[in-house]
Amino acid sequence: MRAAIFVEPNGPMSVEDVTPTDPGPRDVVVRITASGVCHSDLHVISGALPMPPPAILGHEGAGIVEAVGAEVKGLAVGDRVIGSFIPACGVCWHCLRDESHLCDNTYTVMGSPRAVRADGTPLMTMTGLGTFAEYMTCDEMSLVKIETDVPDAQLALVGCGVTTGVGAALNTAKVQPGDTVAVIGCGGVGQSVIQGARIAGASVIIAVDPVALKREAALGLGATHAVDPGEGDPVEQVKALTGGRGVDYAFEVIGLPATVAQAFDMARSGGAAVAVGVSHFTESITVPSFPLVLSEKRLLGCVYGSAQVRRDFPRLVGFVENGRLDLANMITRTLPLDDINEAFRAMTAGEVVRSVIV
């Protein structure tokens, strides 16, 4: 099969013919129908997320089950599935508390090579998935069955950015009707936070991004205001739009300590900053102590939108089906696997909300 291989830090990916390893009894072989290109893939290439090459990247994908191992219970050949980039066992302490994003057994199924290069080198896969390929072999824990007519490219986005962003608003922050929200960074994940805040009934949704295309997309997807941080301190601009008070929830959706600090400053007294973006693994985030204590501001971490994937994937697909969640307008372009490096260039250049490999 063809797959895009991360071969060297900061270098281009190499699209090659590789040989899948034999599936085990708990494994499922999936034919990938669409795979979104997320900034976390770029974080692996840049070294912000530690993962040694060579590896098959891609963690935001959908597909059709091609084969199942003898011990696979919940999936059958022909099922439509979305990959969960945090494999969830369903029975551990966290999974039983609707916290499958913190599953105790996630890492037990991420450590196996899933293909071999022509020279015999084994290939690991990103988060146990590896969706930048024609097929992927993964544990049943990594897949959620979906019955829907939503197109493949849109379904793929549910695998990471949409669940992370909408979940950040609905699950992590629990935005309420009438709340005020700011979103710093309006890529695929940030636009999903904006849509989650709209679905929750937020009254003010302020999109903060230096790129005009992102601000325009945000206004089309539910933002009520757009702020260009190049036109003055974004904290002051957001405060000016909220009567000087700041917002109930400020989401950081880039992964930079400086913008997490901005989110904290944008939150009102008693409000919260929500750190959604993944920073370089060596970074620390600093917030001022007086507002933390005396103004009771909160700083919330958020992984995978605090999602229980087997509950939330179908719920999000339902929002798409009934028109409340617009994924069609988050997809700026679709490309073949051979153009994977072009997709990363376009992301870095700020030319797309999301590219999807089909």
Show which residues are catalytic.
Answer: 38, 40, 43, 59, 160
Residue 278 binding: pick among ligand APR, Zn ion, none (C-beta 5-8 Å cut-off by kind):
ligand APR
Taking CA 138 as the corner, what is the angle to CA 325 and CA 312, rounded to the nearest 5 degrees?
A: 25
Size of the site for ligand APR (CB under 6 A): 28
Comparison of 186 and 250: residue with beta carbon closer to ligand APR: 186
Q: How far apart are CA 262 and CA 259, in angstroms?
A: 5
Residue 39 binds ligand APR, judged by CB under 6 A: yes
Residue 225 binding: pick among Zn ion, ligand APR, none (C-beta 5-8 Å cut-off by kind):
none
CB of 243 to ligand APR, least distance (A): 22
β-strands 204-208, 180-184 pairing: parallel
Nearest C-alpha neighbor of 62 from the set 141, 139, 151, 167: 151
Comparison of 190 and 271: residue with beta carbon closer to Zn ion: 190
CB of 177 to ligand APR, least distance (A): 26
Residue 59 binds ligand APR, judged by CB under 6 A: no
Residue 196 binds ligand APR, judged by CB under 6 A: no
Residue 357 binds ligand APR, judged by CB under 6 A: no
Q: How far apart are CA 205 and CA 180, in angstroms?
A: 6
Helix (H, G, I), strand (E, B) or coil at 169: helix
Cis bond before residue 54 (omega within 30° of 0): yes
DSSP summary character for residue 22: P
| Dihedral Cα 293, 304, 161, 82, nearest 10 deg | -170
Residue 164 binds ligand APR, judged by CB under 6 A: yes
Residue 64 binding: pick among Zn ion, ligand APR, none (C-beta 5-8 Å cut-off by kind):
none
**Burial profile 185-210: b = 16 or more Cβ within 10 angstroms, e = fewer:** bbbbbbbbbbbbbbbbebebbbbbbe
CB of 293 to Zn ion, least distance (A): 34
Residue 305 binding: pick among Zn ion, ligand APR, none (C-beta 5-8 Å cut-off by kind):
none
CB-CB contact of 161 with 354 (8 Å) = yes
CB of 124 to ligand APR, least distance (A): 19
CB-CB contact of 342 with 335 (8 Å) = yes
CB of 234 to ligand APR, least distance (A): 7
β-strands 331-335, 354-357 pairing: parallel
Q: Single out the segment in contact with ligand APR by CB under 6 A; choices: 4-12, 21-29, 182-190, 240-248.
A: 182-190
Residue 347 binding: pick among ligand APR, Zn ion, none (C-beta 5-8 Å cut-off by kind):
ligand APR
Residue 210 binds ligand APR, judged by CB under 6 A: yes
Residue 87 binding: pick among ligand APR, Zn ion, none (C-beta 5-8 Å cut-off by kind):
none
CB of 105 to Zn ion, least distance (A): 5
Q: Single out the segment in contact with ligand APR by CB under 6 A; choices: 65-73, 118-126, 141-149, 247-255.
A: 247-255
Chain residues that interact with Zn ion, rule: CB under 5 A: 38, 40, 89, 92, 95, 103, 105, 160
Could you tell me how many residues make up the chain?
358
Residue 188 binds ligand APR, judged by CB under 6 A: yes
CB-CB contact of 81 with 73 (8 Å) = no
CB-CB contact of 83 with 138 (8 Å) = yes
Tokens (6 digits) for 237 = 């601009």
18, 89, 183, 276: which one binds ligand APR (CB under 6 A): 276
229, 257, 291, 314: which one binds ligand APR (CB under 6 A): 229
Q: How far apart are CA 263 and CA 273, in angstroms?
A: 5
**Burial profile 103-124: b = 16 or more Cβ within 10 angstroms, e = fewer:** bebbeebbebebbebeeeeebb
Tokens (6 digits) for 83 = 């990959």
Residue 95 binding: pick among Zn ion, ligand APR, none (C-beta 5-8 Å cut-off by kind):
Zn ion
Residues in contact with ligand APR by CB under 6 A are 38-40, 43, 161, 164, 184-190, 208-211, 214, 229, 253-255, 259, 276-278, 347, 350
